[in-house]
Structures are given as structure tokens and as C-alpha cells.
A and B are shown apart, each in its own frame.
Chain A
């Protein structure tokens, strides 16, 4: 299988989708980004990213959960795919692996 890279912001969004579980939709992701990572982005940026993630096959979506607050419109709710999980896991492993190889001393010297 061809290798899919995942960007830093994409990874963040992907992690948040996993975290938010049933409530992972555009605005919720944006708010979570603010709370968890202290990053303020536009709603458009979030939508753009999830759109890209879905195209890459990392997540899948369905419509649902209309509320009056939204003017009766449904949300697009995202869940991670198996492939997405794999990519996320791999990215995590690479980093952990790298962290493990760095002697604590070397890091402290910086």
C-alpha cells in the first residue's frame, strides 16, 4: 500500500476526532482545538482539513444530530477508519521510538 503521510495539524484533528467520539463535527473540533491545544483556527480551516482527511480515507462521516441551535441543520459526524487508526498508530510509534532513542542527557543539554 502506498504510503500516506499525515501532517501535524491533520494528526491533531484526527486525534481530536477519536477523543470526541460521537460528537466529532466541525465546530466541536474547532472548540476542542482551542481547549486542548490552545490553537484558534477558522471554521473553514477545520472543514478543509476534515474534508482532506476523509478524501485520504482516514475518517468516514455521516449526517445527523440536527438541533435548533443549528437552525435545524444536521451535523456531519466523523469517526476514524481502520486505516486512519493504523496511520495514527504508526505516527505515534515512530515518535515514541525516536523519543526512546534520545538519551535524556542530550535533551537536557539543549
Chain B
């Protein structure tokens, strides 16, 4: 008989050990062992199986141990721990509330940030087969500058579908306002009142197939198949066709009664975590924006998506797509006579961007969509980590600082026979209790703050109460934080020697002063960095709003949707000019704020189109009153004049274009965009027409018709009354379309909403960090002063002035804050320098910003400690000295 056969399975024994009554264990195990021995000779697996069978057969009422009764001892002890914790908590109300309050605040912040991050990371995860769906990226190497965008030529999608078998499906959309996407006046056929809606886009039928957008009504495969069909989102369908199936019904867009759109389907609204957000998808079936547009290889307007077959390699495919350049793009360029065609083709390459990466990894890709930023996600994550760390630090700090008060308790417990592990357990229980209370408060706080947080991060987050992970994360989180921040204090406190503490010889909490100082420095350094960040962001914002931008943005009203006026626009303009408050009126869709019309053109000097490299810039179609209304300045030459007929061939260019052309004397020079030729009659001072994050680019203005926006320069103190007046005029002209207006200065400010948002985020975190750091400092200083009561009293008895005592008490802490300041400066400088790199036009970082932040931190720390210090300094020394 082999020896190894005689050892029964350990796991079975352990299992029996666990469930069986202790008093029966010996005889049962003995019998089983003997039985096992009897079995030897049979196959090993059979023996084990039989053994297990018999073990399991002991699960009978007589043998199972009483699980509840055996643990009563632990239970009582934990109840005792909780009771003591609670008593301590109610005895030291200030410490407890600072401990819990600080932690709760941090937890609330972390929860909100976690929600934010979770939301950012979940973008486009809802798309079925998302791992096979990619967006095409156009990469152009412009003398070492890598430029990326997503706009492709109309025939590109089909070309790659034909060429590469690994592509299963392609789909395009076109959101260009030039083509009529964006916003439109809309009404049901048969109704009169127009309503302006945003979110129009042209889309291929194949795009909704490719993205497998869920349908509410209609067949997905047929929704956009017919010409002039349109797909609505569920919420818009509900708005225009409440409680009915709108399939087959018609909509009139922009008063175009001739070509109504038929509804081919209703999709579910795009989830908020989709990078595409459109409400009206107009079909691309049979649509051409000009004759031959769909086969034209020299205009890029279509973001293109593709779905690969399983196992296809996206990187290899993007390499192979060079073939398309040579097969279609290069010939088209050469045919058009572009001199740099070969070079352009060489510098063009392609990338495939996974759909799940679009939201967070598109900083360097021009796609005209709203994006998140992976750096922000990291930044938020790190801030959350820091906040949590600061809270834990406070927690540890306060627990060890109060150790002196617990020393006697620890000593006595040890004397009556407590193990060290039970003491550790006790302090752990206590800290878990604190953190649990903090968590409940924190969740409550987070719920209260969520609406405000949603505003500053521009999201619509909701609390995922029903998600299983939320409850588990909350509960596990509270336990984990309790344990982590409880480890050090409980080890520290449980290490006291009973004989020492009972004799009263304890180095009262000063042993870990080195650690505590580090923690204070850390907290304040964080706060100072955040304060500096806040000041710089707001300074930059202020700079943006007040810098000389080259046009007058105050007192200008923009009336939108005026294209429906048609021929009556001139009469409307005259009617406005009758008003005494109106200084001038201009009609143009091109305005120096975002979300108005833009274009891209190549310019040459007249006759040099085949020889020179082009200068790229904008052509803005304006009217005669434009420059006056916008308050722009002519620096050379003259403005357009309506009595000079030749001005229809004239152009006004900006200083940047003069510079790029290298004109010494720009007047009467002639420029061309390979079509028309214009005579330069004036130079307008550079003005910012894109965000200040970008440089001013070349631009020229010509007289032209672009009738969607009417800008009215006014001079009035009673804006409300004036709006009423022009509303009256509007209603005379367009009774079926409500007047929509905005103010130029507000539109301008809203271009920088993200900067304001960043500023708000920073200031919120700065306030939070300061509050938490101060809570820690407050408790620490109170503790220190309590410890040094006798010292202070003796100082006073020996004749120290109140000032001396204040200095004595505050100088330690304030030197820590000073140290924190020293650490904070380089960090803040580096971080904010990085941030400012985003702007072409930016403020300089001045020393006083740092000094101010330092002073603020210093002052706040001083106030925090000061109150306690003054109270201590004013105290009658008799009170603390007479006890001995």
C-alpha cells in the first residue's frame, strides 16, 4: 500500500472542519480516515470521490455546528468597539465633524468625478460591433506639421469599398452648413408656422446600417433609401407628430414647398454618449450638391466611416489606401493643373480611428465635433486621487494627533488582557464607522451638488442608483477608505506600552510630528497650485473678453433666419434704419464669431495661378454697411461705396493677407482665386474671427449676397423696449416665423465657454482643497495648543505678551505653509504654462499671481490658526496651571 494513498483529501477535511461540530470532529475524522484506508487499491479518483461523498453525507442536523452561537464573542466585542467609537465621536464633536466632514466632502467630489470619468469613457460603447467600426482620418504632412481631418471626397467611400475586400460597409455624412445642413426652418406640410431646428445632417442610408442605429418606427434598411426622405429622432418625432407613427408624412424645410421631405423612419435619440448628435438625417440618395458633385475628387466634405470584416487589420488597410491617392486623387489634381500635385500626394496618408477612440483621442483631428479630452480625464482622475489622499491624510493626522487621549484606554485594555490584534481591530472598526458615516454624507452631498457639477462640466449626468456597480463601489469604497486610513493610526495606537502610558509617560503625540508636517505641506502645496491655476485661467478669460479683437462687439443685435425674407430684405433693412436707435444695418452670414459661415479658398496674384504657391484664406460675402456695423477699421484705401459701380469687382483684404502676399502697396493690386479677379481697394485691420487659440488667417471681403443674418448696430439704453420695437417690424414682414436674435458680445463670450468652464472647475477644486486643508490645519492647531497649554501659561506668568505667544503658536504652521508655497511655484508654473500653450494670444505669467496665491493661502492658514491661538493667548494661566 502506497503511503501517499493514505492521506485523505485535505480540502474535504477542511470543509468538514468548517461545518462540523468540534466535539464530533475527532471520531468522524478518525472513522473517515480508517474508511479511506480500507478503500486503498481502487483508482485514486474513485477513492477521493467516495471520500467526498461520505464527507458531504455528514451534512446532517446532528453534525452541523451552530454557526450563530459560536461567534457571539466577536459580536459582543464589535458591539463594544462600536459603542466606544460612538462615545468618542460624541465626546470630541469638533474633531469628529472635521474628520467626517472633510472625508465626506472629498468623497462627494470623487463620486462626481467618477461619474464624469465613467461617462467620458462610455462614449460610443453602445454601437454594436464597435470594435470593427472605424472613422477615416486624412493625414497631411505640411512641411513637418502633421494636419489631420476627417473630410473626404464624395466618391472616396465607394472607391475603397470596391478596392479593398476587407471592408464590409462604408457610410458618410455631410454636416456642412454650406450645403444646407445645420439649422433649418421646419414645419409639417399643411401648417404655416415655421420653427427653427438644429441638428440637420445629410447621411447615407448605409451609415445608419453601419452604426445599427436603433429604430422606433420603420425599417432601418429602408429609412433613407428613397430620394428626399428624412429620418427623425424620437424626441423630434414626438414634437411634430405627437403619439402617431409619422412614417410617410411630409415636412417642409426652409419654406421649400417644391421639394418636401418624406419621413422614412424614426430613430431612437442618439445617446448622450455618442459623438454624433443629430436630430434630422436627410438622405444622400440621388442628391448632388452641384452637377457631378458625387464623382468630384477635388472637394472634401464627407466624414467617412467604415466597418471591417472580422480579423481585418486596420493598420495594414490604412497603409494600402495610398493606392487610392495615386489612382484617383493625383490624376484629378494634375488635371486641374495644381503645380504641387505630386508633392501633395506624397504627403498624404490615411489612418483608421476606432469609433471608441473618437471622443477622447481627437484633439489633433479637425472634425467640427464636440469632444472630450483624454488629458482632462486623466487630470480629473488625478485630482480625484489627490482629494481622496488629502482626506485620508487628514484622517490619519487627526487620529494620531488625538492619540494621547486614547493612550490610557489602550493601556488599560492591554492590562486586562486585550491582544494587540483586538486593539487594531477596534481602531479599524472605529475608522470604518467614521468612513461609513462620511460616505453616506458624501453621497448625499454629491446628489445635492450634481446639478451644479453638470453645469460646470456641461453634461447631463444622473446618479446610477440602480446600477449594481454603484452600490458595491460605494460600500466597498467606504470600507476600503476606512481600512486604508485606519491602518497607520491603529498600528500606532495599539503599540503603546501599558506600563508607560499608565504611568503618564507618553511623548504626547509629538513623535509623528515629522509625518504630520509633511502632510500639511502637501495639502497646502496642492491648494496653492489650484489657486494659481484659477487666477491664471480667469486672467486669460478676462484677456480674451477685453482684448482688442479688431471689431466692436457691443450694442450689436444679430437677427437670424432672415433668408426667408427673400426679396423683402432690402425693405426690412430700410424699415430698421428708420429707427432713431439704429446706427447701421448689415446683411451677411459671415461674422467674426463661431457657428457662422466660413469657407476655404486659394488665392494668387492675378495671372500667377499656375506659377506661385497659393495663399489660403476666406472669402466673406458682405454688404456695403458691413465694416461700419462691425466697427472694423480700414487702415489703407477705402470701404465699399454703393455709388461706385465697380465695387462689385473690388475686394478688401486684411493685414494678414497683405503680409502673406508680401504687398508693399496693396492698393490697386489684383488678386484671384482662379475664378474671379478682384481689385484691392482697401485693407482692413486684422480682427479675430476664430478663437484666440488660433492665429489670424488671411481673409478678404467682397460684395455678395448671404442673407441669413442681419446685424444691427444700435445705440440705446433701453434694450428691452428696442427689442419690442423691432419685433413689431419683424412681425409685419414675417408673421409666421418668430424673431430670433442674439447679441454679438454674448455670442463672442460663448465661444470661450470651455475656458470659463475650466476656470470654474479649477476654482471649485481650489475651494475644496483649501477647505479640506484648513479643516486639517484647524484640528491640528487646536490639538497642538491643547498640548502646549501649560507651556503657554508659564510663558504668560513669566511675562510674555500676547504677541509673543501668538508668534510662538503660529510660526511653526506658517513656516510649513511657506515651504508648501516654495514647492507649489514650479509645479503651478509648469502646469499653467502648458495650458497657455493652447492659445496663440495669451497673457504673460506674472510674478504677482504667484505672490497673490501665496498670500491667500498664508492668510487663510493664519485665520484658521489665529482664532485658536488668540483664544489660547488670552486664557488665564491659572486655569491650566492649578491642576498640578
Contact = CB atoms under 8 A, between A and B. Distances in A.
Interface of A: 25-27, 42-45, 47-48, 51-52, 63, 66-67, 69-71, 73-76
Contacts of B57: 42-45
Interface in B13-55: 24, 26-35, 37, 53-54
Interface in B52-68: 53-54, 57-60, 62-63
A74 B26 contact: yes
Contacts of B30: 66, 70-71, 73-75
Contacts, number: 66
Contacts of A42: 53-54, 57
B27 A74 contact: yes
Contacts of B27: 25-26, 47, 63, 73-76
Interface string B472-490: 0000000000000000000
B58 A44 contact: yes
B37 A69 contact: yes
A69 B58 contact: no
Contacts of A76: 27
Contacts of A47: 24, 27-28, 31, 58, 62-63
Contact of B62 (A27, A43, A51): A51
A56 B62 CA distance: 14
A67 B38 CA distance: 14
A43 B54 contact: yes
6 contacts: A43-B58, A63-B27, A70-B34, A73-B29, A73-B33, A76-B27
Interface of B is mostly: helix
A69 B36 CA distance: 9
Nearest to B50: A42
B60 A27 contact: no
Nearest to A26: B31
B63 A44 contact: yes
A51 B57 CA distance: 15
A73 B16 CA distance: 15
A44 B16 CA distance: 12
Given A44-B63, A73-B33, 5 more contacts: A26-B31, A27-B34, A69-B34, A70-B29, A71-B29
Contacts of A27: 31, 34-35
Contacts of B24: 47, 51
Chain B CB within 10 A, most for which of A25, A67, A70: A70
A47 B57 CA distance: 10
Contacts of A52: 62
Contacts of B33: 69-71, 73
B433 to A, nearest CB: 43
Contacts of B32: 43
A48 B62 contact: yes
Contacts of A44: 54, 57-60, 63
A15 to B, nearest CB: 20
A63 B26 contact: yes
B717 to A, nearest CB: 98
A44 B24 CA distance: 11
A30 B28 CA distance: 13
B192 to A, nearest CB: 88
Interface string B207-222: 0000000000000000
A47 B58 CA distance: 8
A75 B33 CA distance: 11
Contacts of A75: 27, 30-31
Contacts of A74: 26-27, 30
Nearest to B27: A76
Interface string B389-402: 00000000000000
Nearest to A41: B57
Contacts of B31: 25-27, 43, 47, 70, 75
Nearest to B13: A71
B15 to A, nearest CB: 13
Chain A CB within 10 A, most for which of B27, B60, B63: B27
A7 B159 CA distance: 89
B647 to A, nearest CB: 108
Contacts of B37: 69
A67 B6 CA distance: 14
A8 B576 CA distance: 113
Contact of A48 (B26, B29, B54, B63): B63
Chain A CB within 10 A, most for which of B31, B57, B58, B62: B31
A58 to B, nearest CB: 15
A67 B27 CA distance: 12
Interface string B569-582: 00000000000000
Contacts of A25: 27, 31
A70 B28 CA distance: 10
Contact of B35 (A43, A63, A66): A43
A51 B23 CA distance: 12
A92 B33 CA distance: 36
Chain B CB within 10 A, most for which of A25, A27, A63: A27
Interface in B675-731: none
Contacts of A66: 30
Interface in B545-582: none
